[in-house]
Amino acid sequence: MIEERMSRLEEQVAFQEDTIQKLDNALAHQQQQLMAAERKIELLMQQLQKIEVSQPQSTIDEKPPHY
C-alpha cells in the first residue's frame, strides 16, 4: 500500500516537473517574442517621427492645390 502511494506520488512529481519545464520554455519563448515586438515598435516610432519632422506643417484653412 505504501509503495503504491509512493509510486503514484513519484509519477505526479515527475509529471509536474515536466509541466513546469514546458511552461518555463513557453514563457521564455513568449518573452523573446515580446522583446522583438517592442524593438519593432520602437523602430516604427522612430521612422514615424522622422516622417512627421520631414513633412511641412499645413494649416487647417489651407486650400487644396486645384483651387
Task: Please report, to the nearest 10 degrees, the dihedral formed by the alpha carbons of residues 6, 11, 14, 16 taken in order.
Answer: -100
The pTM assigned to this predicted structure is 0.65
CA separation for the pair 56, 39 (Å, rounded): 28
All three cell numbers of 38, joined, read: 517592442
Q: Give CA–CA dist 11/28, Å, rounded.
A: 26
| pLDDT, mean of residues 38-49 | 97
Residue 60, all three cell numbers:
487647417
Q: What tens digit of pLDDT does each residue of 14-40 get?
A: 999 999 999 999 999 999 999 999 999
